[in-house]
Structure 1
Amino acid sequence: MNVLKGQKIDVTKNKSITDIDVFLGWSSANKEISLDSAAFLLSEQDRCEKEENFIFYGNPFSPGAAVSHSTIKQADNEKITISLPKLQPDIKKIAFTLTIYEGEKLGHQFGQVMNMYLRIVDRSLNQELLRYEFGADLSRETAIVVAELYLYKGEWRFNAIGSGFFGGLAALCKNYGLDVEEEPPHSNEDSLLSRRKKIVQAAFEKKKLHGVIARVGLVLDISGSMRSLYQNGAVQEVVDRILAVASKFDDNQTLDVWIYDNEFSRLLSVKENEIENYVQKHILNNDTIHKFGRNNEPLVMEDVIRKYTKEEPSEHPAFIVFINDGGVVKPTKKVIIDASVLPIFWQFIGIGNSEFELLQKLDEMEGRFVDNANFFHLNDISDISDELLYDELLNEFPEWLQAAKAKGIISI
C-alpha cells in the first residue's frame, strides 16, 4: 500500500501483527551528505520521558530491547525493528525521524536528498504493509519528522507526516522534551565499534552469557576464491565486527587471527587501537605469508589447538570464528571429533554459494565427547546486520558451555 502525506491507516487492526521492521531509504548525488534515522518513544503527552527512549546509532536498543536501530547494506539504508508487545505500557506513540549530520554547519539540506521513503514490513510474514515516499516538497530543512505509529483504541495506526524543519537533531530532541546540547559523535570507526559492542552486550544478555570470559580467535580462508573479498574490504569488515565480540568476551580485549589456504599463518593479534587497515597492512601487504591457493583446514585448526592448549593453556575456553567460502576438506571431520575433549568451540560461517556438505551435517556428527561446533551459511556476510550476525554467532555457544562444564572440559 502506498501512503500519501497526511494519510492515517490501521496497521494492526484485525491482523495478527506483533513484530515489524521499519526501513528507511534515500539517495543523494552529494556523497558527503550523511543522514541518520531515529525513533522517539513517546508518552501520552508526546514527550520522550527519558533518554533511553531515544533510539539511534548511539543508543541502538530501548529498555527491554523492544526497539532496535541498525544500519544495513541492502536496498534500504537503515532499519528500526519493533516488537510491539514488548513496548513499555507508557509508550503510546513512536515518531520516526531523519536528520542530516551537521547540516547547518556543512551547508547540507534535504533539498539535496532524493528518493526518500519509509516502508513497514510484517517480520513474521516478510510482507510489506505500507510504503510512504516523502520529501519532494523540502528544500533547506535539516530534520524531518517522517511518520508516527500511534496507539488508538488498543490498535496501532500509521500517520504519514513528512514535515521538515531546521535545527537538526538537537531541534528534534528539544521538540520531544529532551535536552541535547550538541549532536553526538557520528559513526566513525570508534563510535561504530562502540555501537557494535552495545549490540554484542545485548546479545550476551539475551543468551545469558553475562560475566563469561573467553579467548576469541578468527580464522580466515584466504584461498583463491576469496581474493575479491579481501580486495573490496569485506574481510576487513569481518575483522572489525568480530573484534567487537572479542572486546566483550576477552579480558584482554584481544582478537587472535589466522589465515589459511593450503598453508597457514598465525598473524599479529589485534586490539581496538590496531584495527584500522589491519587486512591491508598485515595480510595483503605481507609478502611472507602464503595466499590465494587451495584450502586445507586441518593444518590451521591444529595450530589453533596448539596455541590454546599447549602454548597458552588457560582456565578460560576459546571461541573460534571460522570463515570459509568453499566447504572444508574431509579430514576436518577428524580434527573436530578429536578436539571435542578440548576447551575450544568452533563457530563455522560459510559464505558464498558453494557446497558445505560436511559443515551442514555438524549436528549429526557422531563420536564427539560434546557437540563442539556450529555452522551457519550466508550468501554475503556484508548483507547481514550486526544484530543478526551476533545473534547467530552466539546461538550454540551457551549450550556448549553447559555441556563442557558438565563433562569437566572447563571448570568455570
Structure 2
Amino acid sequence: MAVNLSKGGRINLEKEAPGLQSVLLGLGWDVKKTDGIDFDLDASVLMLDANDKAIGEGGFIFYNSPTSTCGSVIHQGDNRSGAGDGDDETITVEFSKIPENVMKMMIAVTIHDADSRNQNFGQVDNAFIRVANHKSNEDIARYDLTEDYSTETSLIFGELYRKDGEWRFAAKGDGFAGGLSAYLAIFGIES
C-alpha cells in the first residue's frame, strides 16, 4: 500500500520496498475547462551533484532527450494532451546505473509555451506524482498536489535523493514562473 505524502513529506524508498532496484515515476494531471487552446505539459528529470548543480546536459532527461547519458533514467514519451485517467507521462530510474556524483534528481513538470498561451498551473487539476516499484508496478509513495498555483508555469513535483547510501523521495510542490528556462537556470543550466 502506497504512502500518501503531503508537501514536504519524505520517505525512505528502500525501507518501504526492500531490495528495490528501479522505480517508475508516474506523473498525471487534468486540465480545467479553458478557452480551447491545448495544454502541453512536459515531465523531466534533472540530475544534480552534491552542490545542487546540474551534472551537465546528459543529466537533463525529457521527451526530446529521453535517456540519461549513463542510461539510468529513461523518459517513456510525451503526452501532448493529458487526456485520460492515470499517468500522463512516466519515467523509469534504475538506481544501480546512477553515477556516484549524482545526489539528487528533481522531477518537474513545465507547461510548454505557457507564456504565449497565457497558461499556468492554476488551470490544472488533479496533479500527482507516484513512485512505484518498476518491477511489480506496485505503488510505494504518492503525492497529490493540492495548492492553487495561479502564476506558476513550472512545478517541481518531487525529488529523489541519496542519503546514507539509500534512495529517498521527497514531495516538493515548489512552483515558479518563467517556464523551463527559469527552472533550469536555478540549477546552473542556461537554455
Question: Normalised by the size of structure 2, how large is the TM-score?
Answer: 0.90
Residues of 1 paired with 2:143 and 2:9: CA distance? Answer: 10
Which residue in 1 is equivalent to 2:5? 3
1:109 corresponds, among 89, 100, 120, to 120
Deviation of 1:58 (Å): 1.1
Which residue in 2 is equivalent to 1:39? 45
Residues of 1 paired with 2:46 and 2:55: CA distance? Answer: 10
Deviation of 1:135 (Å): 4.4
Aligned-partner SS, 2:15: coil
State whether residues 4 and 160 of structure 1, in contact with CA within 8 Å, keep that contact through their aligned partners in structure 2. yes
Which residue in 1 is equivalent to 2:15? 13
1:206-225 superposed matches below 5 A:
none
State whether residues 110 and 135 of structure 1, in contact with CA within 8 Å, keep that contact through their aligned partners in structure 2. no
Runs of 4+ in 1 over 4 A off after TM superposition: none
Deviation of 1:20 (Å): 0.6
Which residue in 1 is equivalent to 2:27? 24
Residues of 2 paired with 1:69 and 1:126: CA distance? Answer: 16
Residues of 2 paired with 1:3 and 1:110: CA distance? Answer: 20
Which residue in 2 is equivalent to 1:170? 181
Residue type of the partner of 1:177? G
Deviation of 1:165 (Å): 0.5
1:56 corresponds, among 45, 49, 62, to 62
Residue type of the partner of 2:70? G
1:161 corresponds, among 166, 172, 177, to 172
Aligned-partner SS, 2:175: strand
Residue type of the partner of 2:63? Y
Residue type of the partner of 2:30? S
State whether residues 161 and 169 of structure 2, in contact with CA within 8 Å, keep that contact through their aligned partners in structure 1. yes
Residues of 2 paired with 1:122 and 1:90: CA distance? Answer: 24
Deviation of 1:125 (Å): 2.2
Residues of 2 paired with 1:3 and 1:117: CA distance? Answer: 11
Aligned-partner SS, 1:172: helix
Deviation of 1:159 (Å): 1.0
Larger radius of gyration: 1
Deviation of 1:74 (Å): 6.5
Count of residue pairs the alignment pairs up? 180
Aligned-partner SS, 2:185: helix
State whether residues 13 and 156 of structure 1, in contact with CA within 8 Å, keep that contact through their aligned partners in structure 2. no
Question: Normalised by the size of structure 1, how large is the TM-score?
Answer: 0.42
Which residue in 2 is equivalent to 1:127? 138
Q: Per-residue displacement from partner, 1:79-109 (whole Å, max 9, x unpaired)?
A: 1100001111111111000111111121101
Percent identity, aligned pairs only?
Answer: 33
Unaligned runs of 5+ in 2: none
State whether residues 26 and 130 of structure 2, in contact with CA within 8 Å, keep that contact through their aligned partners in structure 1. yes
1:79 corresponds, among 69, 80, 90, to 90
Deviation of 1:64 (Å): 2.7
Unaligned runs of 5+ in 1: 181-412
1:108-257 superposed matches below 5 A:
108-180=119-191
State whether residues 55 and 102 of structure 2, in contact with CA within 8 Å, keep that contact through their aligned partners in structure 1. no
Aligned-partner SS, 1:13: helix
Aligned-partner SS, 2:181: helix
Deviation of 1:137 (Å): 2.6
Distance 1:59 1:175, change over 3 A: same
1:336-375 superposed matches below 5 A:
none
Residues of 1 paired with 2:42 and 2:140: CA distance? Answer: 23
Greater helix share, structure number:
1
State whether residues 44 and 91 of structure 1, in contact with CA within 8 Å, keep that contact through their aligned partners in structure 2. yes
Residue type of the partner of 2:123? Q
Q: Per-residue displacement from partner, 1:238-282 (whole Å, max 9, x unpaired)?
A: xxxxxxxxxxxxxxxxxxxxxxxxxxxxxxxxxxxxxxxxxxxxx
CA RMSD of aligned residues (A): 1.5
